[in-house]
Amino acid sequence: MKRMCAILLIVASVCGAVFAGGRTDSGAAAAATATVLNKDKPLVFFNRQPSDPVSGAIDMAAMNWNGQTYYVGFDAAGGGAVQGKLITDYLAGQTAALDRNGDGIIGYVLCIGDVGHNDSKARTEGIRKALGTWNGSTDPGVAKEGSVTIGGTAFKVVELESRAMTGTDGSTWNANAATDAMSGWATRFGNQIDMVVSNNDGMAMGSLQASNYPAGVPIFGYDANADAIEAIGAGILSGTVSQNVDAQATATLQVLRNLLDGLAGADVYTKGITTPDQYGNKISATVDYRAGEKALMAQNAAVNASNWRDYTAGARDAGIKQSSAPRKRVLLTIYNSADNFLSSSYLPALNYYAPLLGIDLTVVQGDGQNESSVLDRFTNLNNFDAYAINMVKTNSGRDYTDKLQY
C-alpha cells in the first residue's frame, strides 16, 4: 500500500510539471497576474476623455475608479485656440480676392466631428471665437455674424452652414459624410463659400474628395495626419494642427509602465515624461499634468506651408529608446478601426513605442458606433497586467470599469 501511494505521488508530481511546462501563453499570463485583482490594476483612458456628452463635465467617477486610473490626451481647449489663430493668421496674409463673389463677406462651412465630444466642442469654439461667430454654443447652426481682417481690410464673416458628420452607420467624424456634405454645400452656396473648416483632417480630406469642391478655396483640418501633411506640401490643404501624437501615445504607455513598475504619487506622471525614468527615457515634447482631472495633456502646434516638413511621417521621439523593463501585457481598445487619426497616426505610434517600454499590446477595435463592438471584445481580462481604453462614447467609462470589478 505504501509503495502504491509513493507511485501515485510521483505520477502527480510529474503530471503537474508537464502541465506547467505545456501551459499556453495566455494561461501563463493569467497565472502571472492572478495575484492582482483586475479592479486594482492600472487603467488609462486615452483620446476620448470620460465626460458628459452634453455638459462636457469630466466623469470623475470613472477617473477615480482606482488609485491607478489616469487620462492621457491633449489640450483640447488650447488646440481649438491654435486652430483659430492658424486660420486668422492665414487670412491676414491674403488679399480681397479671397472674397470670391466680392460681397464683402467671408462665408465658410464647418465640418463638426461629434457634438458630444469634448475635443470637437473645443475646436468648434476655437474656430468661432477666432472668426467672431461664437454665439455661446458649439451646436451646429448656432453662430452669429463675425469679422476678420484680410490684407488690412475688415470683412464680415458668416457661417453658411455647419453639420455634424455622422455616417450612415452612425459613426461620427465620418469622412464620407463630409464628402457628401461638401458636394451639397458647393451646389447650394456656390461662390458664397470662401473657406472650409473641419474639426479633423479626415473630414477635411473627405471634403476635398467632393467632385465639385470649389478650386482654390482654403481648407483647414486638425490632427496633422500623414496625408494631410502631404496635402499641405502640395498646396491642397491650407493648414492643420498637430496634437503631438507621439507624445500622447508615449505618455499613455509611460504612465502604464510607471504604474506597473510600482511608482506612486508624482512619479507616475513625471517619470519618463518631464524627467527621465529609471531606464533613461524621457518624452521630448511638452506634456502637462492636470491634477483635478488626473489627466496628462500634450500641447498643440499649428502646421502650415512654412513648417509642414517638420511633421512628415516617420519622425519618432529620440528621447525614447529600448529599455530593460520587464515585459508586461496591456489590453488596449480603439473605438473605431476606421478612424483616420487613430488608425494612421496613433496606433502606429503605440506599436512603435510599446516594445521599447517593455509592453506587449493586445489591440481590439470597434466600429465607431456601438459600444458593444468594443466591450464584447474587452475580455480575458485576467490575462493582462493593465488596460488602456478608448471608448466609443465619452460617457461609457462605467461600462468598462464594471467589467473590471473582480
Q: Where in the sequence is the domain holding 384, given as residue range(s)?
A: 33-72+248-278+316-403
pLDDT digits (tens, 9 = 90+) for 293-317: 999 999 999 999 999 998 886 679 9
Neighbours of 13 (CB within 10 A): 10
Confidence of residue 35 (pLDDT cuts 50, 70, 90): confident
- State how many domains the chain has: 2
| Residue 42 resides in a domain | yes
Residues 6 or more apart whose Cβ sits within 8 Å of residue 116: 53, 54, 393, 394
Q: Are residues 211 and 352 in the same domain?
A: no
pLDDT above 90 as % of the chain: 83
Phi, psi of 73 (to 5 degrees): -155, -135
pLDDT tens digits along 319-341: 999 999 999 999 999 999 988 88
- What cell does 79 get? 488646440
Residue 295 lies in a domain: no
**pLDDT value at 249 more than 80:** yes
- In the three-class reduction of DSSP (H, G, I as helix; E, B as strand; rest coil), residue 252 is classed as helix
State mean pLDDT over 368-388.
97
Output b/e per residue, 202-238; b: 16+ Cβ within 10 A.
bbbbbbbebeebbeebbbbbbbbbbbbbebbeeeebb
Gap between the Cα atoms of 394 and 66, Å rounded: 18
Share of the chain above pLDDT 70, in %: 91
Domain assignment present for residue 23? The answer is no
Per-residue pLDDT reduced to its tens digit, 197-240: 999 999 999 999 999 999 999 999 999 999 999 999 999 999 99
CA dist 382 and 38 (Å) reads 7
Verify that 102 and 221 share a domain, yes or no: yes
Query: Are residues 210 and 93 part of one domain?
Result: yes
Strands 219-220 and 193-198: parallel
Question: Residue with C-alpha cell 490643404?
Answer: 237
Both 345 and 210 in one domain: the answer is: no
